[in-house]
Amino acid sequence: MPLNACELEIDLFCRGMRVPDEVPLDGARGISRTRAGLGSGLEVVIPGGSWVKERIWVNVPVEESFAHESPYVLEGSPLDGYRVRDDRNSVRYPIEIPPEPAWYAKSTTRGIPMNRIGVLQGTYLGVYINMVCTFWNYSPSLNCRFCTTGNNVGEHEVVDKAVADVVEVARAARDESGVTFVHLNAGFQGSRGVQFAEPYIAALKEQVGVLVGAQLAPQKDFSHYDRLIALGVDHLSFCLEFVDPEWFAKICPGKERVLGQQIFFDSIEHCAKRMPKGAVSGEIIAGVEPIEATLKGIDWIADHGAFPTVCIFRPTIGSAMENWPSPAFDQMRPVMEHVYQACRRNWIPIGAAPNIEVSIVVNPDDTAMLVPRTPGFYVYEAYRRTARALAQPLFSRRMRPRPRRDSGANGENPPAQGGRTAGGSATNV
């Protein structure tokens, strides 16, 4: 029995895919080692084949050792199209391999290669704005054990990203790739604080006109989040990673020792109360801690008006967990089904924002393909479509460049410490 598009997405995350040498990948997006390493695969698009979801973006693991044992094999070419063949039953799934955008080969006016500033992960632009996550600077290192950021920044990315360069790359991504969303990620920013993201957010809102998300380590003084919201940030996400306290401490020693797990819950709660439903997300990793803890985390996040983004654990090359097994499909499918049910129960308008498809996680709205077609399903799907239609004018407004305010964003590097006066409206999507 062939899998549906979301099931195939899950299984590809779990098993990876083999890419034979003779299959040409001319023009495909290169494999990018950035951030925590989750973008280490081949970007592909699976046609949804359903009114529920038209296209599903997946960053398929191809380099890790488990991918070399995968029953999935890529076949085809740019000329006659690509397919993923499942060697267990010879089922072939048509897929697309999105081309690398022309701006990847360009440089900013300051001479920095644009793809060392930001990369596409699905349809959005991801920019790692921190120099390097501060957990990597401790001795012994306190980095999260699944992460490879400390190996990637500097090697594959520019260490210190000027606001002017980020603006220029965001403009290119918007104009040439139709990007609507820029996601700023920082790992643990140490003494720089949440406020070091302010000049980036202000400049992107004022000079580019895109939706902007920020993923920063939480900070005790929550007024900093209010300042980001006032600057116009559209989305805030918090990497809780693991729900079971013991697993949290074991896999994320820096988060445990320096921040503590509770602050992640408190930050999500604080921001979700101040932003529209679905504008905040909590990220967790499935496939390491007991599944019951993951399900509990999904429920907690959705019950607080945020949406759960669930990464399927990937034992990335170079991480301390490189030799851990990747999760099993039979365990991950119920987790993703649970994401949908939790969002439905809490009327989270998943999938409402325009053109935001994240390739490194199973998008919450992909999971609509996993659940039984009950009357409740159709009611929620009707609600989601209505919410999406009603939100379009609002998103269009928020994607217009905002008049320049006294944000302090002047195209120069952000300050190493200390904030700047945040101006602007506190309205949000």
Which residues would be at the binding site for ligand SF4 (CB under 6 A)? 36, 133, 135, 143-144, 147, 149, 187-188
- By beta-carbon proximity to ligand SF4, the closer residue of 13 and 135 is 135
Nearer to ligand SF4, 147 or 399 (CB): 147
Q: Shortest distance, CB of residue 379 to ligand SF4, whole angstroms? A: 37
Report which residue's Cβ sits closest to ligand SF4.
187
CB of 314 to ligand SF4, least distance (A): 12
Residue 143 CB, nearest distance to ligand SF4 (Å)?
4
Show Cβ contacts of residue 177 under 8 Å, excluding neighbours closer than 6 positions.
101, 103, 120, 123, 125
If the CB atoms of residues 150 and 305 are measured against ligand SF4, the closer one turns out to be 150
**Residue 72 or 196 having the CB closest to ligand SF4:** 196
Choice between 187 and 297, CB closer to ligand SF4: 187
- Shortest Å distance, C-beta 370 to ligand SF4: 27
Round to whole Å and give the CA distance between 227 and 423: 8
* Dist CA 183 CA 201 (whole Å): 10
Strands 307-312 and 211-215: unpaired
Peptide bond into 140 cis (omega under 30): yes
Q: Which is nearer to ligand SF4, 133 or 170 (CB)?
A: 133
Q: Shortest approach of ligand SF4 to residue 41 CB, angstroms?
A: 17
At closest approach, how far in Å is the CB of 237 from ligand SF4? Answer: 12
